[in-house]
Every structure is written in C-alpha cells, then in structure tokens.
Amino acid sequence: MRKRLLVALSMSCFFANCDFNFANARDHETVVSQERIRRDYSISTVDLNNQTDLHIVVAKDLDRTNQYLGHPTTVLLDDGQTIIAAFPTGHGRGKLRFCRSNNGGKAWQTMKAPDIDLHEVPTLFKTETPDGRSRIVLTTCVPKTGDFRWMVSDDGGGSWSKLQSEDLGLKRGIIVALSSMWQLRDSENRPINQWRGVFHDFAFDNFTIDLSFAKDPNAYGGWNTVWSKAKKITFASANGLENSKNAQLCEAGFVRSPEGNEIALLFRPQAKKTNAMISFSSNEGETWDDPKELPGSLTGERHVARYGPDGWLLVCFRDYSPLNKNNPHHADWVGWVGRWQDLKRGSEGQYRIRLKDNYGNSTNNNVGDCGYTAIELIEDVFVCTSYGHWELASGQQAPNGKGRPPFVIATRFKLADLDRLLKQSKTQNE
C-alpha cells in the first residue's frame, strides 16, 4: 500500500495525495499520453465516507431484514424538488420498487410501483412529448431473449402505461438497456423532439436506438412511444472496433460538451485489462471516434456525468481498477471533478471524491457491487444516489470484512464546499 497523506479537517473529512497548489482548487492539469497511460492517479481525493450528515437512506430492508436493494435510477420532476427513484429488489433483477423525495433528496418515502418482475436494471429518463408535456420513460430489458421493454408516465410517476416489449432482433441478447439516453440536436445545435439511447449485448457490441413520439389518440397520454431499429456502433476503424471488443466495452455513460456540438461516451472496460475508455462524436452519435483509454483517475464502471452550475463536471462511478494495484479506494463509490477539456485531452482532472466505502460483497465474489449512480442537480446541490454494501455484516470487522446486503442511499453536497475544504487542507499543511 502506497503512503497517503491524510489530513483531518473540522468536518472529519480527509484528503489524500495533496500534492498540487490549492490556491485555486480547480486549476491543475495533468495530461496523459495514450502511449503512456497512467494506471494510478496523482490528484487529490476528498473523502466523504464518514460525513454522516451528507448521506441519507433512500431504501433499506423494505420487505425483510438484509434485503438486497440495488441499481437505482432517478428523475427530477418539473418542480425542481421532487425526485423519483426506481430500483430492483435484487442484483439487476427482482421486483420494481419506487421511492420519492419531495424536498430535494433530504428525506424519502416509499411510493407505489407497478407489479413488475425485472430481469435487468431499470433506468429512468425525462423526455417531452411534442405538445410540450413532460414524460418519464422507464426502460429495461430481458437480457437472454433480447426483449427491450419500457413504460411511460405523464404525471410524475403517479400512473404508468402498460409495460411494453419489443424484440430488437439481436442474436446475442441485450444488457442494461438503456445505460444512457440523450436528447438529439439539429445542425444548428438546437434540441429536437427525439432521443438516442445506448446499450450492449453479450458479445460486447454496443448499439444505439432512437426514441420519438407519434400522435395516437388510443395510446397512453395520446402519444405512442416509438423506437427505431438498433444501430451497431462500429467506431471509426476496424482497429477501434477490435480494441473495444478486446476491452469488452459496455454500459456507456453520456456527456455533452459545454458548447453542445460534441458528445462523448465513457465506457466500462469489463475485461479489466485496460483503463476505462472514451469515444467522441460530433454528429449526435451517428458515428464515433475510436475509443481511447482514460487516465486512472476515471477508471471504473457505470459512469454518470452532470455539469454543475459553474460549468464544472461531476462524474460518479464504481471505482474498479485492478491495474492500479495500490488504489486505496478500489471497489468503492467515487466521483471525479474536472472539465470537458480534461476528457478531450486525457487529463487527470482536478480531484476525486470517495463518496462511500463499499465493504466486501455479501452475496457473490464481486467486491465492487456498488456505484450505479443517478445524479440530479438542484440549484447548486448535487444529489447522488447509489446502492452498495455500506454496513458491515454481523460479526465482520473493518477494513476487510464483508458487508451486509446492499441498500440505497443519496449523498447531497456542493462542489463549492469541497473546494473550500481542499483549500483548508493546504492551509493546515503549510
């Protein structure tokens, strides 16, 4: 284990590897060459693990003690305060459950959900029908059969359409459909009433699929939900596609450039032989550049990104980085703060966040069973929701003991507060 500098602060928060100038907490840049990919990272880490006032239980033991609750997804309603969370009662499968917060994630209550048996994680997306009404779309799938499934709500989750299903005609199933979905823009960079989602199959080919709405008086809400045929992502070259297959890229997380004219997907490297990878597109995902490895500071799984009000980017993910042998936060729930330019240049970013320590898995050998994150922004407050083994199982001891089955929490914070703590740590070490 490499040595780490741990500096205690007034909020019982700690910072690791504090080795750059904190005069401005976001002025550091370390560019990573593709010829010399860094497996570890040198930027500082803000540790929020023990900040009990920041962590709120969303759902725990809803039906029985030690119940597995995992893989949450959220959507923020139009009032800017109400958050709906959906998740399964098992590892990527089980009964669909809903929780609701009416005050920006500060407190949560259970919410009635349709009686649905999930075969894969659910994902929630906020869209808009052509007549200007907000529509929540919930997508999921049946991996082995290749059935893509969805339902919609036009009243903030109070009622839902019937669960619909479509065979996409793929030979190797579908997984985590959809891991991301974004609203498309026209050639003038203006949003249009069409969305594009991404998923992968068992062969680790990645696909996009488009969503639109067609007027239908007999459909739920008067608008039928229409999905295009799935389109395989082939990347720019045969070599790029081969590299993506060898790395087993999957579960892509979407981010758009600040100007809006370029997008990127951050991929999970399931083969565990490379860092996480990124691919860019300047035509809304019609074509994609060859994927490139990200620096070690962004290596992990199931990336989800959201800009703050000041234009800085927060990316949350499961830290799973076996190539970084001395990583003290391997398998924990983490975040990364940086800029779009950091993603473009391969820079390490500004700093990392350990959101929560994830104890060893109680249900299988995957120690990284956490970190499917949903991020909402309410004014300048990030509300990050995830599942994980946040507590030790009975009779287990830290630091290497196994955790009890996972449950869902939300962590609320402002980047400005983290910046101030970084500056405080510099002052205390001078």
Main-chain phi, psi angles of 11, to 5 degrees: -95, 20
For 144-190, what is each residue's pLDDT tens digit? 999 999 999 999 999 999 999 999 999 999 999 999 999 999 999 99
Mean pLDDT in residue range 72-98: 98
Residue 305: pLDDT over 90: yes
304, 373 contact by CB (below 8 A): yes
DSSP 8-class letter at 392: B
Give dist(CA 190, CA 106) in Å, integer. 34
Average model confidence (pLDDT) across the chain: 91
**Residue with the larger pLDDT of the pair 96 and 27:** 96
Pull the structure tokens for residue 390. Answer: 């946040």
392, 398 contact by CB (below 8 A): yes
For 331-379, what is each residue's pLDDT tens digit? 999 999 999 999 999 999 999 999 999 997 655 555 789 999 999 999 9
Residue 7: pLDDT over 70: no
Range in 62-66, 131-135, 280-284, 399-403 the model is least confident about: 399-403
Q: Hey, how many other C-beta atoms are within 10 angstroms of the C-beta on 156?
A: 15
Give dist(CA 300, CA 368) in Å, integer. 10
Give dist(CA 361, CA 217) in Å, integer. 49
Could you tell me the sign of the dihedral formed by the alpha carbons of 246, 354, 264, 84, in that order?
positive
113, 63 contact by CB (below 8 A): no
pLDDT score of 427: 66
185-to-190, 238, 306, 420 alpha-carbon distances in Å: 5, 28, 18, 37
Residue 25: pLDDT over 90: no
pLDDT score of 306: 98
Mean pLDDT in residue range 234-247: 97
φ/ψ bin of 363: left (φ > 0), alpha (ψ from -120 to 50), beta (otherwise): alpha
Pull the structure tokens for residue 259. Answer: 């100007």
Mean pLDDT in residue range 301-317: 97
What lies within 8 Å, CB to CB, of 424 at 6+ separation is: 9, 10
Most confident of 2-16, 116-130, 320-334, 391-405: 116-130
pLDDT score of 1: 34
Q: Give the three-class secondary structure for 385.
A: strand
pLDDT above 70 covers a percentage of the chain that reads: 89
What lies within 8 Å, CB to CB, of 214 at 6+ separation is: 223, 224, 226
269, 248 contact by CB (below 8 A): yes
Q: Euclidean distance between the first and final Cα of the chain, in Å?
A: 26
Pull the structure tokens for residue 201. Answer: 């199959």
Give dist(CA 374, CA 264) in Å, integer. 18
pLDDT score of 27: 57
Based on the number of CB atoms within 10 Å of its own CB, is 162 exposed (0-12), middle (13-18) or buried (19 or more)? exposed
pLDDT score of 368: 86
Q: Which residue has the tokens 């800009």?
A: 307
**HSE-up (13 A, CA, CB side) for residue 280:** 14
pLDDT score of 397: 87
Range in 11-15, 109-113, 309-313 the model is least confident about: 11-15
Measure the CA angle with vertex 343, ends 54 and 413; round to 5°. 10
Question: Model confidence at 36, in pLDDT bands (50, 70, 90)?
Answer: confident
Give dist(CA 285, CA 235) in Å, integer. 10
Give the chain's domains with CATH numbers.
14-428 (2.120.10.10)
pLDDT score of 5: 30
DSSP per-residue string spanning 310-370: TS-EEEEEE---TTSTT-TTTTSEEEEEE-HHHHHHTB--SEEEEEE--PBPSSSS-TT--
Mean pLDDT in residue range 255-271: 98
pLDDT score of 423: 79
Residue 107: pLDDT over 80: yes
Q: Give the three-class secondary structure for 380.
A: coil
Mean pLDDT in residue range 204-219: 98
pLDDT score of 34: 58
